Amino acid sequence: MAGRVCPRDKDILFLVLQEILRDHIIQIAIVIAYIAKTYSRKRKRQTAVPKYSMICRMPDQIKHLGRMIDATDIDCIANLRMDRSTFGRLCRILRERGGLVDGNYVKVEEQVAIFLSVLAHHKKNRVVKFNFWRSGQTVSHYIHAVLGAIISLHDVFLVKPEAVTDECTDTRWQWFKGCLGALDGTYINVTVSNIDKPRYRTRKGQISTNVLGVCDRNLNFVYVLSGWEGSANDSRILRDALNRPHGLKVPKGKYYLCDNGYANSEGFLTPFKGVRYHLKEWGPNSARPQNKEELFNLRHAKARNVVERAFGIMKMRWGILRSTTFYPIKVQNRLIMATFLINNFIRKQMVVDPIEEQYNAMVEDGDVDVESHNFVENVESSPQWNAARDTLAEGMWQQYINYA
């Protein structure tokens, strides 16, 4: 009949519609999956940018560096131990004469700031990389780069001493015509392997290196030798410094003041032995010099005290000198050398040094012992200690028998 569809045609039509619908469902599912995947990737990129993107970290890096070297001199001195002008001059010298160059993302100013923050506050690598928003590898790389640039300019940073002349009016130095300054050794704690610890152990039991420092009358260092073991004798270190090709040079007729740890020989003037010498022995209640030896020792101590003050300022300025470092011993010695070199640069460039003023104030108040003689220096028997031991033993015995 016309207008009617047979059952078989209905089945065929249903199958065709079903196939068409199935194809559309598959296409819709594919589109939905693609949209979901695309959204997921976009979401991951958005969440990953703050953690891994260099572009995202740059504002924080610039902000942190700007707070240290662009804000105020007070902040710059507190963080880098020098004012903004001195920091700029140091960066310019290292760039022009030290061979330091800008990296792809780290400029010379940031490289030097990273290095100075390590010296000033003795920060570990993981702390520095967190503060500067850099990787640990980047921090380590630029610390060694700046260190090499500074060591290469040692001739620029070290000063040439001037001898005391007949026209000198300084009461501390006018008696020592031809004197170039003073020298002494100081201990700086280091980290070494267990095999090397006996060689680096000082008489006080610390693991240290014995650093020879030679300074002029203005607290500027003329020569520095780091690397000798803490058990090494001061005279042996001085002989090594004199015999090195580019070591300490003392012209004929000139000399340095030094203590009795060295021999009284040409070029090196020491005090009389067996006669009171240290400034603490010449207090307001002490007797005046009774002979020529005591008078010489008193004036010798006042002049030679300059090297003790120089060491004190150094250790107050650089935190890395006050505690054991975390680097290999060769790197530690180079870092010690760098602190002395930068110290000279700071003293030359900064008219007013807050670190030095703070140190001098502490010395005047008695908070710091300039000569660092608060330690036991000999193991000889003394009647005072024998009497103290007898008193302590008697007190122990009396308490013991009373409670028995």
For residue range 126-138, list pLDDT tens digits in order. 998 888 888 889 9
Residues forming a β-bridge with 238: none
Residue ranges in 229-328 assigned as alpha helix (H): 234-243, 292-317
Q: Which of 178, 202, 181, 182 is nearest to 190 (CA)?
A: 202
Question: Residue 380 has what pLDDT?
Answer: 41
Question: Residue 145 has what pLDDT?
Answer: 96
Question: Residue 287 has what pLDDT?
Answer: 64
Question: Residue 4 has what pLDDT?
Answer: 56
Residue 352, SS3?
Answer: coil
Q: Which regions in the chain score pLDDT beneath 70?
A: 1-24, 42-64, 66-67, 278-287, 365-401, 403-404
**Taking every pair of C-alpha atoms in the chain, what is the biggest distance, in angstroms?**
151
Separation between Cα atoms, residue 258 and residue 268, nearest integer Å: 7
Give the percent of the chain with pLDDT over 70: 75
Question: Residue 292 has what pLDDT?
Answer: 81
Question: Residue 183 has what pLDDT?
Answer: 95
Question: Residue 209 has what pLDDT?
Answer: 95
Residue 294, SS3?
Answer: helix
Residue pair 186/204 in contact (Cβ under 8 Å)? The answer is no
Question: Residue 162 has what pLDDT?
Answer: 92
Residue 223, SS3?
Answer: strand
pLDDT tens digits, one per residue of 227-247: 999 999 999 999 999 999 889
